[in-house]
Amino acid sequence: MFRPPYLKTGDKVALVSPAGAIESSYITHAAQILQQWELEPVIGQYAHTRHAYFAGTDKERLHDMQWALDNEEIRAIFCNRGGYGCMRIVEHLDYSTFQGAPKWVIGFSDITVFHAKLNTLGIESLHAPMPKSFLNTTPEALLRLQEFLFGQISPYQIPPHPFNKEGVVRAELTGGNLTLLHCLRSSSLECKHQNPILFIEDVGENLYAIDRMLQSLKLSSKFKHLQGVIVGDFTEMKGVDFGKSAYEIIQEALQDCNFPICFGFPAGHSANNFPLIIGSTIEMEVTSQGSIITFLNS
**CB neighbours of 256 closer than 8 A, spacing ≥ 6?**
none
Rounded CA separation 272/274 (Å): 6
pLDDT recorded at residue 259: 97
**Is the predicted pLDDT of residue 168 greater than 80, yes or no?**
yes
pLDDT tens for each residue of 35-83: 999 999 999 999 999 999 999 999 999 999 999 999 999 999 999 999 9
Rounded CA separation 145/76 (Å): 13
- pTM to 2 decimal places: 0.96
**Is the predicted pLDDT of residue 191 greater than 80, yes or no?**
no
Closest CA to 108 of 280, 277, 297, 282: 277
Q: What domains are defined for the chain?
A: 12-149 (3.40.50.10740), 156-295 (3.50.30.60)
DSSP reduced 3-state for 63: helix
pLDDT class of 111 with cuts at 50, 70, 90? very high
